[in-house]
Amino acid sequence: MRGRSRFIAALRRLRVRWLRLSQPVLGPFRARWSRSLMVRTMTITGLVTGFVILIAGVFILTSVSDDLYSSRRDQALQDSARATLAAQRMIDASEATDRGALTSLAATVRRTVQDTSASQMVYLRRQPGQSPFPEAPPALNTNPMLPEAVSTELSNAVATGTQHWQPVAFIAEDDLPAPGIVVGSTLAFPAGAGTYELFIGYNLADTQDTLSFVQRTLLIAAAAMMAFIGILVWIMSRIVFRPIRAAADTSRRLAAGESDARMPRQNDEHFDVLSEGFNDMADTLQARIRELDHLSEMQQRFVSDVSHELRTPLTTIRLASEVLQGSSGGLEAGQQRAVEVLGTQVERFESLLEDLLEISRYDAGRVTLDSEATNLVTLSREVVEGLQPLSPGVIEVRALGGYTPIDVDARRIRRIVSNLVGNAIEHGEGRPIVVSIDSNSSAVAISVRDWGIGMSADDAEHVFDRFWRADPSRKRTLGGTGLGLAIAQEDAAVHGGILEAWSRLGGGSNFRLTLPRGDSVTDFMSPLPLVPEDVTDAGDSQATGGWLRRPWRRIRKEKRGS
Q: Where are the domains of the chain?
A: 1-30, 87-210, 262-366, 367-559
Containing H/E element for 187? strand 177-189
Task: Identify the DSSP state of 478.
Answer: S
Strand-pair category, 433-439 with 498-504: unpaired
CA atoms of 146 and 41, how far apart (whole Å): 57
pLDDT range class, residue 541, cuts 50, 70, 90:
very low
Task: Identify the DSSP state of 389.
Answer: G
Residue 443 CA, distance from chain mean position? 28
Predicted local confidence at residue 375, as pLDDT: 92
pLDDT at 92 over 80: yes
Please state the rounded mean pLDDT for residues 239-262. 79
Predicted local confidence at residue 449, as pLDDT: 93
> CA angle, 318 as apex, 476 and 477 as ends, to 5°?
10
The conformational region for residue 35 under phi > 0 = left, psi -120 to 50 = alpha, else beta, is alpha
> CA angle, 515 as apex, 512 and 516 as ends, to 5°?
140
The conformational region for residue 496 under phi > 0 = left, psi -120 to 50 = alpha, else beta, is left
pLDDT range class, residue 376, cuts 50, 70, 90:
very high
Task: Identify the DSSP state of 417.
Answer: H
Task: Identify the DSSP state of 439.
Answer: E
First to last CA, the chain: 78
Please state the rounded mean pLDDT for residues 106-118. 88
Across 124-128, 463-467, 496-500, the highest mean pLDDT is recorded for 496-500
- According to CATH, the superfamily of the domain at 367-559 is Histidine kinase-like ATPase, C-terminal domain (3.30.565.10)
pLDDT at 123 over 70: yes
Q: Please report, as a single letter, which amino acid is at residue 535.
A: V
Please state the rounded mean pLDDT for residues 349-373. 73
Mean pLDDT lowest among 8-22, 228-242, 487-501: 8-22
Alpha helix locations (H) across 117-204? Answer: 145-149, 152-158
Mean pLDDT lowest among 197-201, 315-319, 360-364: 360-364
Q: Reduced to 3 DSSP states, what percent helix, strand and coil does the chain have, rounded to the nearest 5?
A: 55, 15, 25
| Domain boundaries 87-210, corresponding CATH code | 3.30.450.20
CA atoms of 176 and 171, how far apart (whole Å): 6
The reply to whether CATH 1.10.287 applies to domain 262-366 is: yes
Task: Identify the DSSP state of 135.
Answer: T
pLDDT at 377 over 90: yes
